[in-house]
Amino acid sequence: MSDTPDPNPNWKPAPEPGPRPGPSSRGSADAGPRDSRAVWIRGAWMLVLLILFSVAQTLLVATALLQFGWMLFTRQKNPHITEFGSRLGNWMAITARYLAVASEEKPFPWTAWK
């Protein structure tokens, strides 16, 4: 040991993580298959939404180019293109949160087109 004082005398090592709850700790023996089926169904919808998200990206690029062309010739923005772009962006944000499992809110057509 050295004679220098400890720079952080209140420091303690982090506790060891405990066991994580698994399928066996859910309380019901038949909860596993139902949960598994729900995950597969969600996965199928996620695949469909990933394809639609890719289409939406292309639509967003087309919307931006169309709006730029409109502004180039008229010197003002088109409110209809602006509204569509805004709603498309909202749909993409809701979809991204659903795909990342950060939200259970499903995008259009399950909810209103915002």
* Confidence at residue 112, expressed as pLDDT on a 0 to 100 scale: 74
* pLDDT of 29 over the 50 cut: no
104 or 111: which leads in pLDDT: 104
Least confident of 3-7, 43-47, 69-73, 105-109: 3-7
Q: What is the pTM of this model?
A: 0.65
**Distance, CA of 43 to CA of 20 (rounded, Å):** 23
Joined tokens for residue 68: 């730029």
Predicted confidence band at 84 (pLDDT cuts at 50, 70, 90)?
A: very high
